[in-house]
Structure 1
Amino acid sequence: MSEKKFASQADLEEKKITFAKLSEHAYAFTAEGDPNTGVIIGDDCVMVLDTQATPVMAQLVIDQIRTVTDKPIKYVVLTHYHAVRVLGASGYEPEHIIASNDTRDLIVERGEQDYKSEYERFPRLFDAIESVPGLTWPTQTFTGEMTIWLGSVEVQLKQVGRGHTKGDTIAWLPQDKVLFSGDLVEFGATPYTGDAYLEDWPQTLNNLLEFKAEKLVPGRGDALMSADTCRQAIEETRDFLSDMYGSVKACQAKGMNLRDTYKATMEALSPKYGHWVIFEHCLPFDVTRAYDECQGVRDPRIWTAERDIKMWQDMEG
């Protein structure tokens, strides 16, 4: 392997946790660019959106929830299938684990490989991995949209288009105008597009703009507290995708190989996005998927721990 440490294996620094109140019902558990968890407090119970990567890490979220309510955590919603988002689910002991049918299909198809792959890439995010009992399986699935009432609090779960994965689910609180985007939107953090649909994602973000959210919990980055910053986060995510995919398409049109495409795209994007969290972690995976999609590989290939290492050596070696 090259001298540059693989993915985020060298990232060992603990992050400061923030538990931010967005509305009477909505909270965001954030940690300086680590994966976020959303919390919705209804009249009689609590819903958690994305779980952290292990049950032990889930307890950090539960500790924060217990500072504001003692209501039972009845629902867990998976915005998509990635291990870092779903493997902590058992820690909440929920009655219901909800995901889109597409997300369940992806867990069936590639959940096990993704688990091993993500742990090898970013071990710090899997504190006490031995506490994970296995893959997280939804107990309830939906296609398109589904409404859940937490007493009088309406939660709309929706698939608004493919993007980060084909199963992406957002949650919308129409009464509060709060949006939970999962990894469709990032703020000050680099989108991971290794399992993405890059041709579709910009339109999916346009669909999100139509909600005119006044508060937003992105997949990574600070919770957003105004309509202007919500729009900014969505547009900046869209700009990154456009710039990255555009660079790869231009390189491919010149007949450049994958490694040279990666180097050129890194050079092109670094001035504008290099300061974003996990930029150097994500870009090799992002460019690889973009290169595939430009060549007509419509559905993302499955990442395995072995494929990850080979890709990294090819790019960085």
Structure 2
Amino acid sequence: MLETVVPGVHAWVQPDGTWWVNNAGAVAGGGEVFLVDTCATEARTRRFLAAVAETAPGAPIRMAVNTHQHGDHTYGNSLLPESTVLIGQEHMREALRTDPIIDGCPPFWQPVPDWGDVTRRVPDISVRDRLTVYAGGTAIELLHPGGPAHTTGDLVAWLPGERVLFAGDLVFSGLTPLVFMGSVPGAMRALDWMAGLGPQHVVPGHGPLLRGDEIAPAFEMLRRYYEFVLETAAAGRAAGRTPLEAARACDLGEFAAWADAERIVLNLHRAYADADGAEIDLIAALCDAVAWRGGPMPTSV
């Protein structure tokens, strides 16, 4: 559903926020709309765009940004009007250009997602560090965290006047975060960086909105999770365990109730690869996540 964060700023929050079910957003001002992300499938993106059109009738979608390359935030790009200027971080643009999953999702998930009638659409403008755009009189700062975090090509959309932060997948609210295409320490640094902006409203990439006094505890719990991943990786490597073996041996503790718990395996693969100075094997990591669950990862997309 489309939730009003502050007047003119809206969040498209899709429960329950698990695999492929993302949040997006819209900023309406001056008779035009700026979008933050699309959705994974044709059906979900069309529902999002219809809700935006109802909220801002007759207002064209002049610009949009992708917070990173993952398909739950980008595959609906092709359903935007041709006149919409699409923006993304430079690493994100290249990753989406070469992403094979839009052409056919592998059977790591069940049911295997059906994207519908979407085609690959990459950003028209690439950003390295920062860019400020405007929806009417509303300033929107598109900011890169300075290094790998959730991915190598993350952007947030920060509205300094409204104190609203569209965090993309730098923030997961109430479910297991994912950093296997980024960096565990980088994701921790990104939390401090975002907190330093002083947001009063955070739209996470997945899960419920965070407001006011909810933000600091949510960031702290994410930080504890990343510390747990690093500690588990260090202990696993010292014991000669593989990432899958380390995941099976660990106690998720306070994080056990989070959805998508199998991401511990994927995040450990990233931590191991970084510690070894190696490239991560994405397919092997996904296979291990399926093995940890005992079957394909569930999705309701």
TM-score after normalising by structure 1: 0.83
2:218 equivalent among 221, 233, 236 = 233
Residue correspondences, number = 287
Mapped to 1, the partners of 2:286 and 2:163 lie a distance apart of: 42
Mapped to 2, the partners of 1:64 and 1:99 lie a distance apart of: 23
Match of 1:3 in 2: none
Amino acid at match of 1:21: T
Mapped to 2, the partners of 1:124 and 1:37 lie a distance apart of: 23
Give the gaps of 5 or more residues in structure 1: 1-17
Match of 2:188 in 1: 202
Match of 1:145 in 2: 130
Amino acid at match of 1:74: R
Q: Measured at CA, do residues 241 and 118 of structure 1 come closer, stay the same or move farther in structure 2, by a change above 3 Å? A: farther
Please state how far the C-alpha of 1:56 moved relative to its aligned partner: 2.6
1:61 aligns with 2:48: yes
Amino acid at match of 1:100: Q
Q: Measured at CA, do residues 275 and 116 of structure 1 come closer, stay the same or move farther in structure 2, by a change above 3 Å? A: farther
1:99 equivalent among 74, 88, 96 = 88
Aligned-partner SS, 1:247? helix
The answer to whether the Cα contact below 8 Å between 1:53 and 1:125 also exists between their aligned partners in 2 is: no
Aligned-partner SS, 2:177? coil
Match of 2:297 in 1: none
For 1:58-207, list aligned pairs within 5 A.
Answer: 58-70=45-57, 71-93=59-81, 95-108=84-97, 110-112=98-100, 114-115=101-102, 120-122=107-109, 126-127=113-114, 129-133=115-119, 135-161=120-146, 162-207=148-193
% same residue: 23
Q: Measured at CA, do residues 232 and 136 of structure 1 come closer, stay the same or move farther in structure 2, by a change above 3 Å? A: farther
Mapped to 2, the partners of 1:123 and 1:41 lie a distance apart of: 36
Mapped to 1, the partners of 2:291 and 2:275 lie a distance apart of: 19
Mapped to 1, the partners of 2:242 and 2:47 lie a distance apart of: 44
The answer to whether the Cα contact below 8 Å between 1:166 and 1:196 also exists between their aligned partners in 2 is: yes
Amino acid at match of 1:279: A
Match of 1:6 in 2: none
Match of 1:283 in 2: 264
Mapped to 1, the partners of 2:56 and 2:106 lie a distance apart of: 32
Mapped to 1, the partners of 2:27 and 2:215 lie a distance apart of: 18
Deviation sequence 1:87-145 (CA, Å, 0-9, x none)? 1012122521100111113224x412x43685634466845x23112x22111111100
Match of 2:9 in 1: 26
Q: Measured at CA, do residues 309 and 201 of structure 1 come closer, stay the same or move farther in structure 2, by a change above 3 Å? A: closer
Mapped to 2, the partners of 1:279 and 1:312 lie a distance apart of: 9
Q: CA RMSD in A?
A: 2.2
Amino acid at match of 1:85: H
Match of 1:242 in 2: 227
Please state how far the C-alpha of 1:219 moved relative to its aligned partner: 0.8
Match of 1:296 in 2: 277
Which deviates the most, 88-97 or 77-86? 88-97
Mapped to 2, the partners of 1:309 and 1:276 lie a distance apart of: 19
Mapped to 2, the partners of 1:117 and 1:123 lie a distance apart of: 14
The answer to whether the Cα contact below 8 Å between 2:244 and 2:265 also exists between their aligned partners in 1 is: no
Name the one with the larger strand percent: 2
The answer to whether the Cα contact below 8 Å between 2:269 and 2:280 also exists between their aligned partners in 1 is: no
Mapped to 2, the partners of 1:195 and 1:230 lie a distance apart of: 25
Please state how far the C-alpha of 1:315 moved relative to its aligned partner: 4.6
Mapped to 2, the partners of 1:312 and 1:215 lie a distance apart of: 33
Give the gaps of 5 or more residues in structure 2: 295-301
